[in-house]
Chain A
Amino acid sequence: MTIADSQPFIRPDGKEKVTGAGRYTADLNLTGQLYAKFRYADHSHARILSIDTAPAAALPGVFAVLTWRDVPAVLYGGYVQDRRLFAKEKVRWEGDVVAAVAARTPEIAAEAAGLIEIQYEVLPAQIDFEANAAAEAPLIHEQWAEYEADESVGLAGNILGHSSVVKGDADAAMAKAAIVVKSRYVADASQGAPIEPRAISAEWHGDKVTIWSSTQVPFAARSGVAHALDIAESQVRIIVPLLGGGFGSKCDFHFEAHIAALARATQRPVKLVFSRREEFLAPDHRREGMIIELETGTDPAGRLLARRGRLVLDKGAYCGEGGFFAQMAAMHACGPYKIDTINIDSYLNYSNSQPSGSVRAPTAPQACWALEQHMDEVATAVGIDPVELRRLNIIEEGDVGPTGQIFEAIGAKETLTAALEMIGYGQELPDDEAIGVACGWWPSFGSASGAYVKLNSDGSGTIITGAMESGTGAVMGLPLLAAQTLGMKPEDFSILYQDTDAGPWDMGSSGSQTTFNNGRAVIAAATEVRSKLLDMAAEELEAHRDDLVLAEGAVRVKGSPESHVTIAHLAGTGEPILGKGSGVVPDSPEVDASTCVGRLGLESFLAPQLMTQAVRVKIDRATGVVQVLEVAAAHDSGVIVNKIGADGQVYGGVLMGIGQALTEATVFDEEGRQRNPDLLHYKLQTASDAPEIQIRWIEIDTPNAGPNGSKGVGEPPSVPTPGAVGNAVAKLVGRHVDRLPMTAERVWNTLDAARAGTP
């Protein structure tokens, strides 16, 4: 079918996006606005001795210069409250904000920021996050014991978090295993790198502040601003204009409070727009660097008897919302496999570099890359095809997971079969090509969420929701679900969203959960509307409610279609028709994780999504340059509500995964400064690097799923890609590349070592 033949539902925000009429945050200007600029830390680790803002304040055109003295003495952070809006005692990474300026022009603001005089006592930058756990390592947060922290995280000195997965006696099982394989992999940090650098504008109206922000999570931003400025949430309204991508990196609250504080101090609207360099350096959101050590014992046939593991994750300078990373990584070091015994310890350590935060499936692509390459190493040791090893051990309905979760119907094996079939696994290939395979998993996140649905007098509907649209098409699914419930067309609905004063609370564009949770809420709200319509129509048509159906924009009497009343007529009577709903959050599966520490809820995977990707690559052995030629992605994300949107997530997620596999790394110098904060040296994949991607959805009936049997879609596509690429490359190189990204130089070095037979 060609595009012209089909009649798809076009995304509601589409026309304004292709005409250039749509407004993103940086496109908005407020009358009288000033421009903000931050003064960042001059060192990655230093004690602040003094800050003199006078030279900046004296510059003509400067309206305000703020430091820690000018805001409430409040600490913030998701699991550990370890950060201030403005650094006070110390700076702990190069992007720490020391001061903020508001001035008449961006140029004056930048000049003023540079005039602020800061005296430091420079401390050694502690960027070796593994070494920071040592007892003798100096503390990055001297006051850590006084911080407010979630007890389950396990904060202790430079270790922000510790989590374990313990199942049975892995030591004993390992000792008895016929085959034991040990591996160590190291992943570099990388970036979400949305094409829109963030922008924020703030304006006060009396005691209330309105903030336009390019955030993925407006309600979290509202809470953050209220907390950091010590005001009520009701005083804060966050509006998100069109959002130019996020990929997790625009999650959490951060700079909104700084700009609100500047706007209050100057009594003028203030606007901040990040340069690309700042977009790399300043957010507390990069994908975390990670060390992954794995050991697996099997029986002679390849059945997994024991898994031991030690993971160390680079948290960077502050917690942000990333406090759960140790546990998430530990679950991904187990993977979607039946393993008799497990003992994995996972540590999340502070360092003097950019804080790690959620970027599309946080921790999973790196951990999966290591695990899936390790699995191929195990297959080699057992003497079976890597695919056979997976077939033998992948989870199925009734199997027991690492934390005792008993899996319900799940399409893991089907994804494996489908991916292999699509790529033509086993085909004859030229000697510079190979196919690699990786499996992965990712939970669905149940969360409270709400929506209102109201009908308008012309028979159209409006969905009022707290949900967010970062470009994923998440909100495209909402009209589909409302229309389905009300016998209307999706085009009949407008959406009022991305405004905290309008919709109910929502966790925002994070965790791939908009359809899962807000879809459920929209159905509940539409169901209430439906009920009201049926009542009104029953009276009008003098028919029994049970004899009525909603179809084609009208309420009809079953069996006598000419007897009907239109929704427009009912909605036009003046009687408000408004439904609200949230639905019931599905329960997380029961687990027995009493043997595990650092439990933050991720020991239970609600409606888990399973995926297998098979990747065909080509290598230039003389240079180590790898090209990905073809990807086959088979995903169990439950029933697909909005196919064009879901497909789009796979196309984009796979390419992001290829970038992480081959070219994307944030490289730090010895002082913890980023060496490549620009798009020439931080290399996203271009259109000419992108392979053909085939997709197959394994739409099985999933218990505890979201609307229509759906699960999440957005994050999983990136999870198995680097591992699949790694396994393909290893077949061509003769051994596994143990650093991520697998850059040309690293591939070439590995080839060299494989040829020489050196370790």
Chain B
Amino acid sequence: MTSYLAATSLEEAVAALADGARPIAGGTDLVVGARQGKKPLPEALVGIHRIPGLNGIRDSDDGLEIGAMTSHAAVVAHPTVRNRYSGLADASALVGSHATRAQGTIGGNLMNASPAMDTGAPLLCFDSAVTLASARGTRNLSLADLWTGPGHTSAGRDELLVAVHVPAPPPSTGSAYVRLQYRRQMEIAVVGAAAVVTLSEGTVTAAAIAITALAPVIHRVAEAEARLIGGKANAAAIASAADAAAEASRPIDDVRASANYRKAMAAVVARRAIETAISRAGGAEVEIPASESTYGS
């Protein structure tokens, strides 16, 4: 029999975790997994969606602090996210359906550690960090250090992700997330890529590129970034960086795509993400989500 506790404070929640309970918020992944017989529901659940203070986006000069319980719908709707962290808005706009976006939380998404999650790559490119809380105290961890494999994180079983910190990008920075999708909605990424690019007089001064659904964990591609940084943001450099992203991929063959196709598409989505990030860095409006507005480019 499963037991359930509706936590009303963070203390209550982390105490339950220390006793072996598993957190539940939007519910989707845990409940679906149990219903399909993949993994039974945990014996003890602690509901964390009613804890005050975990929901919402705090916007300051230093960056964003996104509460773990913030929904994808709230992320997409936030004006600052759309303007300055457009790549994250691109990603949250694509998650599942309107219902998934209404109920699914950024914290749940990150802790699920799926290599196909949409929000992971842009957050990684923004050098985001997470705050983990437990009865032992709190600690901050870079996102890159959080994921250890598909479905696995370095967080302790007693730790709860409470917030994501996204440092403010320098001026003249643009970002984008682009994924390959066979339908306009109700998809998970077949391949995806995010780019965050900073420009100074047409020269790339900083670049971050990460790939999605192309390796056991979402990761940055240093070689792709290196091919952009210090040079002009021209087509040749973009293509070269996109190729580097594809070369770094280690895709699988599955029912959604072959490894060969995935690798080729990695270059396409990376190119589109970089192009869009550069356009946005230059002040151009590219509609969110970029996956739609770059179709055919």
Assess whether B186 is in contact with A618, with CB atoms less than 8 Å apart. no
Bound-complex Cα distance A618 to B296 (A): 9
Given contacts A621-B296, A681-B255, contact A663 B182 (CB under 8 A): yes
Contact A620–B257 (Cβ < 8 Å): no
Residue B258, interface by CB 8 Å: yes
- Establish whether residues A620 and B185, one from each chain, have CB atoms under 8 Å apart when the complex forms: no
Does the CB pair A623–B180 fall under 8 Å? yes
Chain A nearest Cβ from B188, distance in angstroms = 7
Q: Is A748 an interface residue (CB 8 A)?
A: yes
- The CA-CA distance from A745 to B260 in the complex, in Å, is 10
Q: Is the CB of A623 within 8 A of B36?
A: no
Given contacts A277-B36, A680-B188, A681-B256, contact A744 B182 (CB under 8 A): yes
* Known interface pairs A620-B295, A620-B296, A621-B296; A686-B258 also in contact (CB < 8 Å): no
Interface readout for A722-759 with B: 1 if CB under 8 Å, 0 if not? Answer: 00000000000000000000011100110000000000
Contact between A689 and B255 (Cβ–Cβ < 8 Å)? no
Chain B CB within 8 A of A527 CB: no
Interface flag for B264 (CB, 8 Å): yes
Interface flags, B178-199, vs A, CB<8A=1, else 0 = 0011111110100000000000
Q: Is B265 an interface residue (CB 8 A)?
A: yes
Q: Does A135 sit within 8 A of B, measured CB to CB?
A: no
Partner of B182, one of A277, A675, A676, A683: A683
Nearest CB of B to A674, in Å: 9
Count chain B CB atoms within 10 A of each CB in A621, A688, A689, A744 and give the residue with the most: A744
Does A685 interact with chain B (Cβ within 8 Å)? yes
B180, B185, B186, B297: the one contacting A625 at CB < 8 Å is B180
Instruction: Verify if A622 is at the interface (C-beta below 8 Å from B).
Output: yes
Are A686's CB and B186's CB within 8 A?
yes
**Are B186 and A680 in contact (CB-based, < 8 A)?**
yes
C-alpha gap A676/B181 in the complex (Å): 17
Interface assignment of A667: CB less than 8 Å from any CB of chain B: yes
Question: Which chain B residues lie closer than 8 Å to A688 at the CB level?
Answer: 183-185
* Cβ B268 vs Cβ A622 within 8 A: yes
Distance of B207 from chain A, by nearest CB (Å): 21
Counting chain B residues whose Cβ lies within 8 A of the other chain, the interface size class is 20 to 34
Interface string of A607-627 (1 = CB under 8 A from B): 000000000001111110101
On chain A, which size bracket covers the interface? Answer: 20 to 34
- A432 contacts chain B at the CB level, 8 A cutoff: yes
Complex CA gap A680/B295 in Å reads 22
Partner of B183, one of A620, A623, A675, A685: A685
Known: A675-B255, A676-B255. A743 touches B182 (CB 8 A): yes
By beta carbon, the residue of chain B nearest A626 is B182
Q: How far is the CA of A737 from the CA of B265 in the complex (A)?
A: 19
> Is the Cβ of A745 less than 8 Å from the Cβ of B183?
no
Which residues from A are CB-within-8-Å of B296?
Answer: 432, 618-622
Q: How far is the CA of A667 from the CA of B258 in the complex (A)?
A: 13
> Chain B residues with Cβ under 8 A from A743's Cβ?
182
> CB within 8 Å of A: which of B261-281?
261, 264-265, 268
Q: Which A residues are in CB contact (< 8 Å) with B181?
A: 625
**Distance of A450 Cα from B89 Cα, bound (Å):** 60
Inter-chain CA distance A277–B265, complex, in Å, is 30
Closest chain B residue to A620, Cβ basis:
B296
Complex-state Cα separation, A685 to B257, whole angstroms: 18
User: Which residue of B186, B255, B264, B297 is within 8 Å of A667 (Cβ)?
Assistant: B255
Smallest beta-carbon distance B94→chain A, Å: 12
Is the pair B183, A686 in contact by a Cβ cutoff of 8 Å? yes
CB proximity of B136 to chain A, nearest CB, Å: 37
Contact between chains at B183 and A683 (CB < 8 Å): yes
26 intermolecular pairs with C-beta atoms under 8 Å apart: A620-B295, A620-B296, A621-B296, A622-B296, A625-B182, A625-B295, A627-B295, A662-B182, A667-B255, A675-B255, A676-B255, A680-B188, A681-B255, A683-B183, A686-B183, A686-B184, A688-B183, A743-B182, A744-B180, A744-B182, A745-B257, A745-B258, A745-B261, A748-B261, A748-B264, A749-B261
B: residues with CB less than 8 A from A are: 36, 180-186, 188, 255-258, 261, 264-265, 268, 295-297
Given contacts A618-B296, A745-B257, A745-B261, 15 further A-B contacts (CB under 8 A): A620-B295, A621-B296, A625-B180, A625-B182, A625-B295, A663-B182, A680-B186, A681-B255, A686-B186, A688-B185, A689-B183, A743-B182, A744-B180, A744-B182, A745-B258
